[in-house]
């Protein structure tokens, strides 16, 4: 297939870059992409954007996409993170071509570093990082050369070898590229290539005590893997010159060289998007681990009940741009509702029950009413819901007196019980504090939904959900609010972002009454508790516990 012509969907600027290269003769067979996470935390929704971009191009052009772990920082990385990343990418619906690790290239990178030393393009510096940073200076004026910059070749080779064989302590020396201390681009002022880190690596174990920096490892890994387009976020734009310099200066056999191109990070309101800060939330027990349903992590969203297609649709809608902006969390909710409306099985559950007695319904009678599992899709079939004289309804669905705008139950007014009969409020019973303990009503025996009578078709203003008092299950539900109280919790660097945590972001509701068919729920499905929102089964211990994914409509006031 020829991909030079647009495939009809709206093109983003990365698309345009690729297509214009194809028009200029770049062979489509040589397109290759990668997603390069550092295994120092769980993936978040920002990574999902990068995944959708890279794997999206893979699908669009039928090109391979590598998963490459950028594992150059052994102090912060581990196998748990690697496993979670792989799991999350698969769950999002993508498959990588090769599973790669920057650490696979440590030998090659070392050899290339030796080559740069031999070429007079790298040297060992005995100064500490503070001193090195000082000498770098500021962009507007040239930096100062290190006193070790002119070391002779043999000394550099010896010292670098000693660095490798664990002769020095961390911080005693580093290997730096010898580029240009006067460059207006600070990243070109003799950047560090290797530092000593005395920490076991999760893959190479104790083989290495020197580790390549991001800049030294990334482009070379792209080159080794034949990546054609290396997409990253905007903050790396200033690294591009260095990316190209390293590639230019290593000994090469290949003609096709990778290109780095940058796009804007995804930021979402009322949350944070940095693994380091998410780790802080986990370690300070502000949340229940990386997969807490309030976390913006992929695993948190999965546990919350957001389906993978909703995340992919969200990333599509957000698009790819060159300018940073903050996306409203409501857009993700919108995408979630859109998918769940089609997918979710419907059930009835009463979160805050109050008893309702139908005065004129026969004592001891029990009916099984038919209810659709999903009115959007008849292939979901029907279920039976138990109905009798005594029911539970939502406390907020009743008011003794009401105005014209109140469409729920009140004295002298009618509502329909979902999938059941039309009832009219009659009177209430209260405790000594005036709290309603029981509502009495009458029903119209000919009005049952689906019974085909004129009354069954009669329209009343409101429909409320209910559960049979004599036949139901007690479950727990977790309701969530935003994790942070303000839109951009990490904007002000002076203030600890954790001080903006919303203490009421989790409400645990016990003794929720649900229709008895809830016994059949599974972890694989999505549910709508009618009128209450979309819910995901979280555990089957003791009682069933559900997490509310999202309400049916936006109830957040912003």
CB of 69 to ligand ATP, least distance (A): 9
CB of 232 to ligand ATP, least distance (A): 4
**Rounded distance between C-alpha atoms, residue 296 and residue 43, angstroms:** 9
Q: Is 38 among the residues known to form the active site?
A: yes
CB of 301 to ligand ATP, least distance (A): 14
Q: Which of Mg ion, ligand ATP, none is residue 265 near (CB under 5 to 8 Å by kind)?
A: ligand ATP
Q: Which of Mg ion, ligand ATP, none is residue 85 near (CB under 5 to 8 Å by kind)?
A: none
What are the backbone dihedrals phi and psi of residue 333, each rounded to the nearest 5 degrees, phi first? -60, -40
**Rounded distance between C-alpha atoms, residue 335 and residue 548, angstroms:** 15
Residue 472 in tokens: 């139901």
Please, are residues 48 and 332 in contact by the beta-carbon 8 Å criterion? Answer: no
* 300 contacts ligand ATP (rule: CB under 6 A): no
Q: Which of Mg ion, ligand ATP, none is residue 374 near (CB under 5 to 8 Å by kind)?
A: none
* 37 contacts ligand ATP (rule: CB under 6 A): yes
Please, are residues 218 and 236 in contact by the beta-carbon 8 Å criterion? Answer: no
DSSP-based three-state secondary structure for 427: strand
| β pairing state of 422-430 and 436-444 | antiparallel
Q: Quick one: 144 exposed, middle or buried, by C-beta within 10 A (0-12, 13-18, 19+)?
A: middle
Please, are residues 418 and 465 in contact by the beta-carbon 8 Å criterion? Answer: yes
* 315 contacts ligand ATP (rule: CB under 6 A): no
DSSP-based three-state secondary structure for 512: strand
In the bound state with ligand ATP, the residue whose beta carbon lies nearer, of 229 and 408, is 229
Stretch that binds ligand ATP, among 36-44, 317-325, 397-405, 519-527 (CB under 6 A): 36-44
Q: Which of Mg ion, ligand ATP, none is residue 58 near (CB under 5 to 8 Å by kind)?
A: none
Number of residues that bind Mg ion (CB under 5 A): 1
Q: Which of Mg ion, ligand ATP, none is residue 275 near (CB under 5 to 8 Å by kind)?
A: ligand ATP
Measured CA to CA in angstroms, residue 500 lies from 270, 483, 550, 555 at distances of 10, 9, 22, 21
**Rounded distance between C-alpha atoms, residue 46 and residue 301, angstroms:** 12
**Rounded distance between C-alpha atoms, residue 281 and residue 483, angstroms:** 11
In the bound state with ligand ATP, the residue whose beta carbon lies nearer, of 308 and 353, is 308
Cα dihedral value 465, 471, 475, 477, nearest 10: 0
CB of 45 to ligand ATP, least distance (A): 8
In the bound state with ligand ATP, the residue whose beta carbon lies nearer, of 49 and 408, is 49
Residue 366 in tokens: 């029990």
Active-site residue, selected from the candidate residues 38, 60, 237, 280 = 38
In the bound state with ligand ATP, the residue whose beta carbon lies nearer, of 3 and 265, is 265
In the bound state with ligand ATP, the residue whose beta carbon lies nearer, of 264 and 509, is 264
Q: Which of Mg ion, ligand ATP, none is residue 233 near (CB under 5 to 8 Å by kind)?
A: ligand ATP
Cβ neighbours of 97 (radius 10 Å):
15
Q: Is 49 among the residues known to form the active site?
A: no
**Residue whose CB is nearest to Mg ion in the complex, by number:** 38
Cα atoms found within 13 Å of the Cα of residue 434, Cβ hemisphere only: 1
CB of 359 to ligand ATP, least distance (A): 59
Q: Which of ligand ATP, Mg ion, none is residue 210 near (CB under 5 to 8 Å by kind)?
A: none
Of 149, 265, 395, 543, the residue at the interface with ligand ATP (CB under 6 A) is 265
**Rounded distance between C-alpha atoms, residue 415 and residue 398, angstroms:** 10
Active-site residue, selected from the candidate residues 68, 275, 408, 548 = 275
Find, among 218, 307, 297, the residue nearest to 35 by Cα.
218
253 contacts: CB under 8 Å, gap ≥ 6: none
Find, among 48, 86, 87, the residue nearest to 67 by Cα.
86
What are the backbone dihedrals phi and psi of residue 273, each rounded to the nearest 5 degrees, phi first? -140, 60
Cα atoms found within 13 Å of the Cα of residue 382, Cβ hemisphere only: 8
Stretch that binds ligand ATP, among 31-39, 127-135, 287-295, 342-350 (CB under 6 A): 31-39
Of 183, 185, 233, 341, the residue at the interface with ligand ATP (CB under 6 A) is 233
Please, are residues 340 and 534 in contact by the beta-carbon 8 Å criterion? Answer: yes
Number of residues that bind ligand ATP (CB under 6 A): 15
* 47 contacts ligand ATP (rule: CB under 6 A): yes
In the bound state with ligand ATP, the residue whose beta carbon lies nearer, of 85 and 354, is 85
Of 38, 280, 355, 481, the residue at the interface with Mg ion (CB under 5 A) is 38
**Which residues in 88-147 contact ligand ATP (CB under 6 A)?**
none
Q: Is 265 among the residues known to form the active site?
A: yes
* 273 contacts ligand ATP (rule: CB under 6 A): yes
**Rounded distance between C-alpha atoms, residue 48 and residue 94, angstroms:** 11
* 36 contacts ligand ATP (rule: CB under 6 A): yes
CB of 365 to ligand ATP, least distance (A): 59
Active-site residue, selected from the candidate residues 131, 261, 265, 277 = 265
Of 269, 274, 321, 488, the residue at the interface with ligand ATP (CB under 6 A) is 274
447 contacts: CB under 8 Å, gap ≥ 6: 416, 421, 422, 453, 455, 456, 458
* 50 contacts ligand ATP (rule: CB under 6 A): yes
Q: Which residues bind Mg ion (CB under 5 A)?
A: 38
Residues that bind ligand ATP in the complex, under the rule CB under 6 A? 36-38, 46-47, 49-50, 70, 232-233, 265-266, 273-275
Kindly list the catalytic residues: 38, 265, 275
């Amino acid at each position: 297939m020829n991909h030079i012509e647009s495939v009809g969907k709206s093109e983003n600027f990365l698309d345009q870059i690729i297509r214009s290269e194809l028009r200029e003769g770049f062979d489509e067979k040589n397109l290759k992409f990668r997603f390069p996470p550092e295994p120092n935390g769980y993936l978040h929704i920002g990574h999902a954007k990068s995944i959708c971009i890279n794997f999206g191009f893979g699908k669009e052009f039928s090109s391979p996409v590598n998963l490459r772990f950028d594992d150059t920082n052994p102090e912060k990385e581990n196998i748990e993170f690697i496993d979670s990343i792989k799991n999350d990418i698969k769950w999002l619906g993508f498959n990588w071509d090769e599973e790669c690790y920057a650490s696979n290239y440590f030998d090659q990178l070392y050899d290339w570093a030796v080559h740069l030393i031999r070429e007079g393009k790298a040297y060992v510096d005995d100064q500490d990082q503070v001193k090195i940073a000082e000498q770098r200076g500021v962009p507007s004026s040239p930096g100062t050369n290190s006193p070790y910059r002119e070391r002779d070749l043999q000394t550099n080779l010896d010292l670098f070898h000693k660095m490798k064989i664990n002769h020095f302590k961390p911080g005693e020396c580093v290997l730096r590229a010898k580029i240009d201390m006067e460059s207006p681009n600070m990243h070109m002022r003799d950047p560090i290539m290797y530092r000593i880190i005395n920490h076991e690596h999760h893959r190479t174990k104790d083989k290495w005590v020197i580790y390549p920096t991001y800049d030294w490892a990334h482009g070379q890994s792209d080159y080794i893997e034949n990546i054609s387009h290396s997409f990253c976020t905007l903050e790396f734009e200033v690294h591009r010159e260095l990316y190209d310099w390293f590639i230019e200066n290593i000994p090469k056999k290949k003609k096709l060289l990778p290109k780095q191109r940058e796009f804007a990070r995804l930021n979402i309101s009322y949350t944070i998007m940095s693994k380091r800060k998410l780790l802080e939330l986990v370690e300070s027990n502000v949340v229940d681990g990386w997969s807490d349903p309030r976390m913006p992590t992929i695993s948190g969203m999965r546990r919350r009940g957001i389906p993978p297609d909703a995340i992919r649709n969200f990333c599509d809608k957000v698009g790819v741009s060159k300018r940073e902006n903050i996306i409203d969390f409501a857009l993700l909710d919108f995408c979630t509702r859109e998918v769940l409306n089609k997918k979710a099985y419907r059930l009835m559950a009463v979160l805050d029950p109050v008893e309702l007695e139908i005065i004129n319904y026969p004592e001891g009678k029990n009916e099984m009413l038919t209810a659709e599992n999903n009115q959007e899709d008849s292939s979901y079939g029907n279920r039976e819901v138990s109905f009798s004289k005594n029911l539970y309804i939502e406390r907020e669905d009743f008011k003794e007196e009401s105005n014209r705008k109140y469409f729920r139950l009140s004295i002298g007014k009618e509502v329909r019980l979902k999938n059941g009969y039309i009832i009219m409020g009659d009177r209430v019973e209260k405790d000594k504090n005036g709290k309603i303990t029981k509502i009495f009503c009458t029903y119209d025996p000919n009005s049952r939904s689906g019974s085909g009578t004129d009354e069954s078709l009669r329209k009343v203003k409101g429909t409320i959900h209910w559960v049979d008092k004599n036949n139901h299950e007690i479950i727990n539900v977790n309701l969530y609010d935003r994790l942070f109280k303000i839109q951009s919790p990490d904007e002000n660097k002076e203030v600890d972002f954790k001080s903006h945590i919303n203490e009421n972001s989790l409400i645990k509701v016990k003794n929720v009454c649900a229709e008895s068919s809830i016994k059949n729920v599974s972890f694989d499905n999505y549910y709508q508790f009618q009128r209450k929102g979309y819910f995901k089964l979280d555990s089957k211990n003791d009682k069933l516990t559900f997490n509310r994914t999202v309400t049916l409509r936006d109830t957040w006031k912003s």
